[in-house]
Amino acid sequence: MAIPQRRQSLTCDMVSLPSARLADIGALLDFVDGFCEQAAIGAEDQFDLRLAIEEVAANVMMHGYAQRAPGPLEMAICADREQVTVTISDRAEPFDPQFAPLPDLSAPVEQREIGGLGWHLVKQVVDQLAYRYDPTYGNTVTFVKHLTVTTDESSPSPRSRL
């Protein structure tokens, strides 16, 4: 399968959900798909971005706003030839993903708790992850995904990780 030729310049966009609800996930992922097409991001990297964005946004919607009315969620996304940077901001309850409980992947499937894999999956598909909380502006999660590097349009080379 041919990898699309990426643009030389920086491509950026943003979306804002004034009252983020789980019903908005489809529209958010449609936005991501459109961005990936515009920025010529390949299918494998697009899949990883969709997964990470869906998990972060769903956690905000389901857990962050669980004890109050849904609030805002904003996402900014920028891509160049080498990487995509995604910043998701909200005003939900503070939650630092470094303190997300680690799933017990060694336990038999039937003995594992339902859920709890979201942050683990995000950490597997992105290359850098940062969290910041500000009492005035809320939570900000930023992650960087290094894009698959190709020597030509049809032969992907191994990913380079920091």
CA distance 73 to 85: 16
Instruction: Give the pLDDT confidence score for residue 97 in this predicted structure.
Output: 84
- Cα 124 from Cα 108, distance rounded (Å): 21
Task: List the chain domain ranges.
Answer: 11-156
Angle, CA 118 vertex, CA 68 and CA 60 arms, to 5°: 20
Q: CATH code for 11-156?
A: 3.30.565.10
Each residue's pLDDT, cut to its tens digit, for the chain (162 residues) gives 455 555 568 999 999 999 999 999 999 999 999 999 999 999 999 999 999 999 999 999 999 999 899 999 999 999 999 999 999 999 999 988 887 766 666 666 666 566 556 687 899 999 999 999 999 999 999 999 999 976 544 444 444 433
Cβ within 8 Å of residue 69, ≥6 positions away? 19
Phi, psi torsion values for 111, nearest 5 degrees: -100, -5
| E strand segments, the chain | 11-17, 73-79, 83-90, 128-134, 138-146, 150-152, 155-156
For residue 32, the model assigns a pLDDT of 98
| Overall pTM surpassing 0.85 (yes/no) | no
Q: What's the distance, Cα to Cα, between the start and end of the chain in Å?
A: 26
Which two structure tokens, joined as six digits, stand for 135? 């009492």
Q: What is the pLDDT of residue 161?
A: 38
Alpha carbon dihedral 31, 35, 37, 43, in 10-degree steps, equals -80
pLDDT of residue 154: 47
